[in-house]
């Protein structure tokens, strides 16, 4: 969007009922309706990398459906994200469900195209495998990026059944490829049984810090966000949110649920505490609607993507007026 254009916002829900018409994220225009966007919301319907329950291929559309109720002003960040920047729904990246290597390449190429237009990406998964090609693309543009990874799991394991591209391995691959800034890597919400203590030793060697789910409970969202913000500074930041960072009570619709997770309130508050960060792109993954009830998980995911989008829109607007 050039500086003298007004962004095209969502369909007005006081004129067209919010349950009418096909779903785009937050009822925003499609990317092909606006040409280019500052933030492109894209779906990646891919779940061939999962180790347990499948179904995250339907996550993006479930999040879009649940996002119909979002409103244009975000009081928690005192910002109207869709007025500050052009946010548009770029539809889905069509990926091969039968060939993971091809799928990973397709996602990277599609992300290259979108980032090449100047857009930041708000990606809706899909399983966590997709974070690797997204990070590859973001690193081509920005160099190695800081990573905040919200997840019950480390996702720094080596292989499953000999496969290197799975939803449990994207961040080990990313570290091996040198596309992450190892000075600023954190997992948040970590919990649950591991294969062995070595998982933690390996993870630490890769440079990750861990804020467990229990740490968030004990120290509170504000203190955690302050600590993370200090570590990240103004580095280009990628945030990857596996919805299973939330307790199964807050996100039952996911493939590898673990008890004892964060509440959606804690997650949203931590994100709001990161509002000043230079968020260059983000994903929300692992929403598997077949295990969901009353859209609990997809509503949480839609609000999560809304906070992330607001952070990006504020940054874009601030850069425009600087
Ligand atoms: N990324 C997600 N959601 N889960 C990884 C779990 C890997 C495992 O089955 O051990
Ligand atoms: Zn996970
Ligand atoms: Zn994950």
pLDDT in tens, 97-145: 999 999 999 999 999 999 999 999 999 999 999 999 999 999 999 999 9
ipTM: 0.98
- Our answer on whether the CB atom of 159 is closer than 6 Å to any ligand 1 atom is no
Predicted confidence at residue 4, as pLDDT, reads 54
Contact (Cβ atoms closer than 8 angstroms) between residue 156 and residue 131: no
- Our answer on whether the CB atom of 181 is closer than 6 Å to any ligand 1 atom is no
How much is the average pLDDT of 196-200?
A: 98
Predicted confidence at residue 85, as pLDDT, reads 98
Nearest atom (ligand 1) to Cα of 195: 10
Whether the per-residue pLDDT at 3 is higher than 70: the answer is no
- Our answer on whether the CB atom of 158 is closer than 6 Å to any ligand 1 atom is no
The per-residue DSSP string of 49-112 comes to T-SS---GGGHHHHHHHHGGG--S-BGGGTB-HHHHS-EEEEEE----TT-HHHHHHHHHHHHH
Give φ, ψ of 247 to 5 degrees: -60, 145
Give the integer Cα–Cα distance in Å for 138 and 238.
8
Angle at the Cα of 284 (from 149 to 123), degrees rounded to 5? Answer: 115
Give burial (CB, 10 Å; 0-12/13-18/19+) of 155.
buried
| Residue identifier of the C-alpha nearest atom 10 of ligand 1 | 168
pLDDT in tens, 273-290: 999 999 999 999 999 999
| Residue identifier of the C-alpha nearest atom 3 of ligand 1 | 256
pLDDT in tens, 71-93: 999 999 999 999 999 999 999 99
- Our answer on whether the CB atom of 153 is closer than 6 Å to any ligand 1 atom is yes
Give the integer Cα–Cα distance in Å for 78 and 86.
17
pTM of the model: 0.98
- Our answer on whether the CB atom of 258 is closer than 6 Å to any ligand 1 atom is no
């Amino acid at each position: 969007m050039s500086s003298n254009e007004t962004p095209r916002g969502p369909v007005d829900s006081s004129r067209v009922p919010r349950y009418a018409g096909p779903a785009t994220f937050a009822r925003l225009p499609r990317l092909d309706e606006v040409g280019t966007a500052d933030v492109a919301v894209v779906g990646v319907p891919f779940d061939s990398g999962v180790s347990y329950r499948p179904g995250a291929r339907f996550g993006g559309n479930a999040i879009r459906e649940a996002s119909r109720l979002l409103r244009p002003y975000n009081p928690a960040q005192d910002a109207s994200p869709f007025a500050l920047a052009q946010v548009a729904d770029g539809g889905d990246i069509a990926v091969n469900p039968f060939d993971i290597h091809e799928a990973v390449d397709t996602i990277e190429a599609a992300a290259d195209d979108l980032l090449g237009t100047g857009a930041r990406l708000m990606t809706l998964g899909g399983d966590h495998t997709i974070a690797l090609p997204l990070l590859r693309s973001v690193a081509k543009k920005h160099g190695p990026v800081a990573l905040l990874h919200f997840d019950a799991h480390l996702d720094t394991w080596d292989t499953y059944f000999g496969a290197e591209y799975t939803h449990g391995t994207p961040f080990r691959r990313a570290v091996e490829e040198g596309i992450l800034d190892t000075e600023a890597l954190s997992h948040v919400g970590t919990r649950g049984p591991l294969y062995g203590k070595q998982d933690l030793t390996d993870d630490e060697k890769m440079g990750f810090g861990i804020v467990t789910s229990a740490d968030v409970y004990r120290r509170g969202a504000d203190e955690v966000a302050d600590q993370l913000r200090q570590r990240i500074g103004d580095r280009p930041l990628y945030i990857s949110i596996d919805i299973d960072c939330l307790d199964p009570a807050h996100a039952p619709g996911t493939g590898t649920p673990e008890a004892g997770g964060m509440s959606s309130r804690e997650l949203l508050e931590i994100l709001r505490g990161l509002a000043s960060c230079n968020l260059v792109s983000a994903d929300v993954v692992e929403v598997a609607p077949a295990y969901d009830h009353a859209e609990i998980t997809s509503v949480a995911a839609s609000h999560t993507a809304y906070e992330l989008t607001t952070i990006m829109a504020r940054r874009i607007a601030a850069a425009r007026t600087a």
